[in-house]
Amino acid sequence: MIQKIIFNILQVLVVMLLSPLVKGVIDCLKENIQSKKGPSIFQPYRDIWKLFHKDEVVSEQSSWIFRFTPFICFTTPMFVALLIPVLTDYPLFFAFMADMLGGGFILALGGFFAALAAVDTGNPYGPMGASRTRMVGFLAEPVFMIVFFTVSFVAGSTIPYIVQKVWVTPIANFFEPSHVLVMLAFLMLILAESGRIPVDNPSGHFELAMIDESKGLEYSGRGAALMKWGGCMKFFVLLCIFLNVLVTPWGLAGSGSLWEVLLAVPLVLVKMFFFIIVLVIIESSLAKLRLYRITEFMGAAFVTSLAAVVIQLLGI
Amino acid sequence: MELLYILAIPLISASLSMIRTSTQKIAAGGTILGTLAVFILAWKAAWGLGHGIEVPGITGWLSCDGFSALILLLVSFVGLAAAIFSWGYISERVGDSGGKRARQYYRRYNLFLLSMLAVPILSQVAMVWIAVELTTLLSVFLVSFENTAEAMEAAWKYVVLTCMGAALALVGVLILYWGQSFIATGPFTWAGLSEASSRIQPVFLKTAFLFILIGFGTKAGLAPLHTWLPDAHSQAPSPVCALLSGVETTTALYAILRLIPLMDGVSKDNSSTWFIVFGLISMGTAAFLLIQVKDYKRLFAFSTIEHMGIILVAAGLGGEAGYLASTYQVMAHAVTKSFCFFAAGAALLMTSTREISSVRGLIRTSPIAGISLMIGGLAIAGAPPFAVFLSEFSIFRASLAEGRYGVTGLLVLFITIAFGGIMVHVNRMVFGQGLTSPAPRPLPLTCRVTLAMTVIPVFLLGFYVPEPLHNLLRFAAACFGR
Amino acid sequence: MIQLNALAGGLFLLTAFGVLAVRQVIGCLRLFVIQSILLAASACILGYELASIHLLVVAGITLGVKSILIPWLLFRVLSHEIHARREITQVLNIPTSLLVAAAITIFAYFIAQPLLEISSAAFSRINLPIGMAGLLLGAYAITVRREALPQVLGILTMENGAFFAGVSIAPNLPLIAELAAAFDVLIIALVMGLLARKIQKQVGTTLVGKMATLKEE
């Protein structure tokens, strides 16, 4: 019992400490593929450290929402990290606190406050970006829901640990058409939610075209550090759900020994590394979509997930 | 072996057309001789069948029963007539310098004729599907022959819609095969299927029937998928139009009508209702759209849609009288519609315009074209004493005998509306006052020969059907029963 | 094995959606190539399971004709200068089209249901509904798309769908019929490609959905 609580806390620590590393690897790899010399993979750590040591400037016209949001954006991914399989494949202490739907809502809470805070400052670029983020968000909602419904039809539950078991044991289940289609739909969803090409350009500086980056525009010092770190953790958490539940549900600790759990950490990083390679290839070969074409992209994701549900329901 | 020769001769004519000469004489002459040979062979087969002699073929691949012989005869007759007409028409349209284009025309013509001849004599159902698909593909470039923007548009719509229908029909054919494979008897031919059909599960037959009706119905011009027909059948050169309207739609309808003996039994009422409903809808659509055409070839094209509807209704009415009436209608329509298009071609050569409003007093400009157009219009609209009148009358009689007053009423209504529409336009064109200009050149000799040749059956079959021909019709009708 | 077949079927359905919705015309062609490869894969799996050389030959023919020959032909006939790169508008906008496509797929399942109740073959349960859905989606793609090449691909998708259903319900169709059908599809692609090229020369554009001069007023 104590062991499970320790492992849970270990899980959250892993998410906190390793998420900037993942972001660093992505940035470096993207630059390398474009034949440039990228930043060091530890650069996000240095950025967060630097921001914590700077002064914070807060607008007088802003309200408590602006001050609270960095904390909310920092803690919501940590809550979700308590619920999902990061290191172990058996449920831990807090695992039954909420299921995947609950996890999705908690992440959405962070996004909601970020959007409100962006409007709070009165800067014109903030609300523009916030409304665009909301548009992508509400288009992504049906896809989220249907992916979760499909997955719960297959597994009979919405707790990620139980869902993951379905695809681990009989290997044939992995190739089920509904599973493949759900993977595709979820991949498109991750691209949308974490603001990567083709939905949004994460390294763009042009405020008129920003979607997801705009939520961090007005922050400085500690607030900026927390927002940045929170963004990294949200991405890490989404990747954990995708990889550990849907795509590669192997390599997680099966028993209760500390050694196995610690061994699972580099394995998770290796899985993420392979996925990052795929992501970087996608990012480097596509162009960012025009704003109204995002509806078509999300429509395609929706139809893919709908096809998965239909195929699952009609019992192929 | 005759059936093999029938298939081989158009291939020889097509290859003859590839010989590079500056005039079209070899190509045209070869085509005419080839179609004459095919016609003689088909006549021999049909005459033999009319007297009760079976036609030799290759069992399982090529065969010829009553209905096939009828279609074969009609295809070869119209093919011969159109080939003779083409000589004059193409040399007028293409001009003296167009040897290459004329040769292209004859090559495509022969291949098109080959595919239409193949449809009735192939016995494997899958091969029949392929042959019907080929009739479309080999006629696309004939439709777009004139190379105008409208001709291209017509050809594109033609190929897209008919290939779509053919793909639907393919699924129907595959479902039939599936249904038959449960019984595991017999080859996948029309004869084998009708023998096994009592043991095939009705749901297979019904589903396949619907798919094939909609799929091949698109090709035959049944509403609501008829939209390609007026365009394609008006933009093509006139002899090709005669082939398209007269016999190509009939070969598509042949494939549909072959399903009738399969549906005998459990699914009978279902299929006849579908036939009657589709037929009446086609007739109604065509009759109403006929009234507002601006182009006289489109007028005749809509009349084709109407007649296809009539044939379907007659087949749906069933019974010996109904089937005999539908085969008679098939024959009358093929002969009459091709004559109408030959007349329209003559009018086009004389006036160089397709618009109805620009043609007035044709009888003064060119008496032959005027009279032919008048006869054609009267004949296809169903006036006595022409063949179409007799066949339509026998359909009325058949439906009254069955007690279907509603169907008869609608039939009469639509035919009357179409009659009115056709006659108003043709009358204005032939006798109207207004713009008249003298004909630029006299009508080419071969065109006149064709018109004279094809007007004879149009008249004759209204009065008197020769005994062997009547026997052939009865044998054809017997193929629908079991 | 049956799962692999189901996977091929699911991806086949996805490519049919793609032919409907992708704007890039060359992208549609690539999706068609993938679709034909999936059809050949399904035929292979069925041939292996039913121990039928016949189906393996069919798979080979499909691979050769539909995955290699036809795309090469279409690419050659409609080269870059002739066809448009991207389709600007469709009759309905793309998200709505995708929803209609989903409805059509469900409709195809309902049509196939009565037929599947009688048969008990496991492969027909997958192939028949997906094949019918491919057929109907191809027909829908023709009505919705305005450019020439996507309309050609719509027809070829319909044929692919019919064959996808056919490999499971009619595996013993005489080989000559299969060969002739493949040849037939080749001719369809050739004829439509050449006609589209002629249209481009004559009219100046391959936007065939907008050509509507022939009609009654």
State pLDDT tens for residues B67-81.
888 899 999 999 999
Residue C33 reports pLDDT greater than 60: yes
Tell me the β-bridge partners of B258.
none
Q: Tokens at residue C110, please?
A: 């309902």
- Residue C217 in any domain: the answer is no
What per-residue confidence (pLDDT) applies to B98? 66
Number of structural domains (chain A) is 1
pLDDT digits (tens, 9 = 90+) for A58-83: 888 888 999 899 999 999 999 998 88
Contact with chain C for residue B163, Cβ under 8 A: yes
Give CA–CA dist C124/B204, Å, rounded: 14
CA distances from B292 to B226, B299, B425, C24, C216 (A): 16, 9, 10, 40, 7
pLDDT digits (tens, 9 = 90+) for A155-191: 777 888 887 777 777 776 777 777 888 888 889 988 8
User: From the list A175, A296, A310, which residue is nearest C106 (CB)?
Assistant: A310
Where residue B303 falls among pLDDT bands split at 50, 70, 90? very high
User: Which residue type occupies B426?
Assistant: V
A21 vs A312, more confident: A21
Compute chain A's Rg from CA coordinates. Answer: 19
- How many Cα atoms sit within 13 Å of C67 on the Cβ side? 15
What per-residue confidence (pLDDT) applies to B304? 93
Residue B350 reports pLDDT greater than 70: yes
Q: Do A252 and A165 touch, CB atoms closer than 8 A?
A: no
pLDDT digits (tens, 9 = 90+) for A251-265: 777 777 888 888 888
Tell me the β-bridge partners of B124.
B189
Residue A315 reports pLDDT greater than 70: no
Where residue B482 falls among pLDDT bands split at 50, 70, 90? low
What is the overall mean pLDDT for chain C? 85
Q: By residue range, what is the domain housing residue A114? A: 2-315
What per-residue confidence (pLDDT) applies to B242? 92
Residue C157 reports pLDDT greater than 90: yes
- The top-scoring range by mean pLDDT among A246-250, B182-186, C209-213 is A246-250
In the predicted model, what is the mean pLDDT of residues B293-314? 91
In the predicted model, what is the mean pLDDT of residues B339-343? 92
What per-residue confidence (pLDDT) applies to C83? 59
Q: Tokens at residue B40, please?
A: 């003689």
Q: By residue range, what is the domain housing residue C94? A: 2-211
Helices B268-290 and B405-431: crossing angle in degrees, nearest 10, is: 30
Q: Which of A291, A238, A285, A244 lies closest to A268 in space, CA to CA?
A: A244
Where residue A16 falls among pLDDT bands split at 50, 70, 90? very high
CA distances from C104 to A143, B208, B443, C90 (A): 20, 19, 55, 18
Q: Do B345 and B447 touch, CB atoms closer than 8 A?
A: yes
Give CA–CA dist B7/B12, Å, rounded: 10
Q: Tokens at residue B187, please?
A: 């080859």
A1 vs B290, more confident: B290
In the predicted model, what is the mean pLDDT of residues B203-224? 90
Q: Do B81 and B453 touch, CB atoms closer than 8 A?
A: yes
Q: Do B90 and B102 touch, CB atoms closer than 8 A?
A: yes
Locate the chain C residue with the closest alpha carbon to B147: C202
What per-residue confidence (pLDDT) applies to A226? 93
Q: How many CB atoms lie within 10 A of CB B433?
A: 9
Give CA–CA dist A8/A4, Å, rounded: 6
Give CA–CA dist C10/A304, Å, rounded: 10
Cβ separation C151–B160 shorter than 8 A: yes
Cβ separation B147–C203 shorter than 8 A: no
Distance spanning both ends of chain B, measured CA to CA: 27
Q: Which chain C residues contact residue A184 at CB under 8 A? A: 14
- Residue C120 in any domain: the answer is yes
Q: Which chain C residues contact residue A302 at CB under 8 A? A: 98
What per-residue confidence (pLDDT) applies to B198? 78
Q: Tokens at residue A125, please?
A: 């670029």
User: From the list C95, C101, C106, which residue is nearest A296 (CB)?
Assistant: C95
Which of B160, B183, B204, B356 is most worth mutating to test chain C (most C CB atoms within 10 A of its CB)?
Answer: B160
B185 vs A57, more confident: A57
DSSP single-letter state for residue B248: I
Give CA–CA dist A196/A207, Å, rounded: 16
Lowest mean pLDDT among B54-58, B135-139, B418-422, C128-132: B54-58
Cβ separation C3–A175 shorter than 8 A: yes
User: From the list B124, B175, B293, which residue is nearest C177 (CB)?
Assistant: B124
What per-residue confidence (pLDDT) applies to B63? 81
In the predicted model, what is the mean pLDDT of residues A236-248? 87
User: Which residue type occupies A276?
Assistant: I
In the predicted model, what is the mean pLDDT of residues B333-339? 92
Where residue C82 falls among pLDDT bands split at 50, 70, 90? low
Q: Tokens at residue A52, please?
A: 């914590």
User: Which residue type occupies B187?
Assistant: P
Specify the residue for token string 């595919």: B115
Q: Which chain C residues contact residue B126 at CB under 8 A? A: 173-174, 177, 180-181
User: Would you call A285 exposed, middle or buried from its count of C-beta atoms within 10 A (0-12, 13-18, 19+)?
Assistant: exposed
Cβ separation A310–C14 shorter than 8 A: no
Give CA–CA dist C160/C62, Å, rounded: 9
What is the overall mean pLDDT for chain A? 85
In the predicted model, what is the mean pLDDT of residues B217-224? 88
Q: Which of C5, C81, C76, C17 lies closest to C43 in space, CA to CA?
A: C5
Q: Do B224 and B331 touch, CB atoms closer than 8 A?
A: no
Domain layout of chain B by residue ranges: 2-478
Cα A192 → chain centroid: 10
pLDDT digits (tens, 9 = 90+) for B441-456: 777 888 888 888 888 8
pLDDT digits (tens, 9 = 90+) for A132-151: 888 888 888 888 888 888 87
Give CA–CA dist C49/B195, Å, rounded: 32
What per-residue confidence (pLDDT) applies to B342? 92
Residue A316 reports pLDDT greater than 60: no
**Chain A residue set in contact with C, beta carbons under 8 Å:** 172-173, 175-178, 180-181, 184, 295-296, 299-300, 302-304, 306-308, 310-311, 314-316
Give CA–CA dist A134/B157, Å, rounded: 44
Cβ separation C95–A176 shorter than 8 A: no
Number of structural domains (chain C) is 1
**Quick one: what percent of chain B has pLDDT higher than 90?**
29
Q: Is B61 helix (H, G, I), strand (E, B) or coil?
A: coil
- The top-scoring range by mean pLDDT among A209-223, B461-475, C97-111 is C97-111
Q: Tokens at residue B112, please?
A: 């098109």
Give CA–CA dist A254/C101, Å, rounded: 43
- Residue C12 in any domain: the answer is yes
Where residue B267 falls among pLDDT bands split at 50, 70, 90? low
Characterise A226 by phi-psi region: left (phi > 0), alpha (psi -120 to 50), beta (else): alpha
Residue C58 reports pLDDT greater than 70: yes
Give CA–CA dist B469/B65, Å, rounded: 14
Which of A135, A176, A306 is most worth mutating to test chain C (most C CB atoms within 10 A of its CB)?
Answer: A306
A to B contact (≥3 Cβ pairs closer than 8 Å): no
DSSP single-letter state for residue B188: S
In chain A, the largest separation of any two C-alpha atoms, in whole Å, equals 60
Smallest CA–CA distance, residue A214 to chain C, in Å, is 27
Q: What are all long-range contacts of B93-100, with beta carbons under 8 Å and residues at least 24 apart?
A: B93/B146, B93/B237, B93/B349, B94/B24, B99/B21, B99/B22, B99/B23, B99/B24
Q: Do B420 and B347 touch, CB atoms closer than 8 A?
A: no
Q: Tokens at residue A269, please?
A: 């990083």
Characterise C78 by phi-psi region: left (phi > 0), alpha (psi -120 to 50), beta (else): beta
Residue B234 reports pLDDT greater than 60: yes
Cα B208 → chain centroid: 24
Give CA–CA dist A73/B50, Å, rounded: 91
pLDDT digits (tens, 9 = 90+) for B361-392: 788 778 888 888 999 999 988 888 888 888 88
- DSSP codes, B380-430: HHT-TTSHHHHHHHHHHHHHHHHT-HHHHHHHHHHHHHHHHHHHHHHHHHH
Where residue B211 falls among pLDDT bands split at 50, 70, 90? very high
Helices vs strands, H then E, count in chain A: 11, 0
Residue B96 reports pLDDT greater than 80: no
Q: Is B63 helix (H, G, I), strand (E, B) or coil?
A: coil
What per-residue confidence (pLDDT) applies to B57? 74
Residue C144 reports pLDDT greater than 80: yes
Smallest CA–CA distance, residue A239 to chain C, in Å, is 24
What per-residue confidence (pLDDT) applies to C135? 94
**Quick one: what percent of chain C has pLDDT higher than 70?**
95
Q: Is B365 helix (H, G, I), strand (E, B) or coil?
A: helix
Task: Count contacts between B and C (CB, < 8 Å).
Answer: 134
What is the overall mean pLDDT for chain B? 86
Q: Do C182 and B170 touch, CB atoms closer than 8 A?
A: no
Angle at A95 between CA A92 and CA A98, to 5 degrees: 175
**CA dihedral over B466, B468, B471, B472, signed as positive or negative:** negative
| Helix boundaries (H) for B95-189 | 99-121, 125-137, 140-143, 149-183
User: Would you call A64 exposed, middle or buried from its count of C-beta atoms within 10 A (0-12, 13-18, 19+)?
Assistant: exposed
Where residue C140 falls among pLDDT bands split at 50, 70, 90? very high
Question: Which ipTM was obtained for this model?
Answer: 0.92
User: From the list C95, C126, C129, which residue is nearest A295 (CB)?
Assistant: C95
Give CA–CA dist B206/B270, Å, rounded: 8
Instruction: For residue C12, give every residue at least 6 positions away whose Cβ sits within 8 Å of its Cβ, in sequence order, or none.
Output: C35, C38, C39, C42, C130, C134, C160, C164
Where residue B22 falls among pLDDT bands split at 50, 70, 90? low
User: Which residue type occupies B327?
Assistant: T
Q: Which chain C residues contact residue B167 at CB under 8 A? A: 135, 138-139, 155, 158-159, 161-162
In the predicted model, what is the mean pLDDT of residues B315-321? 83
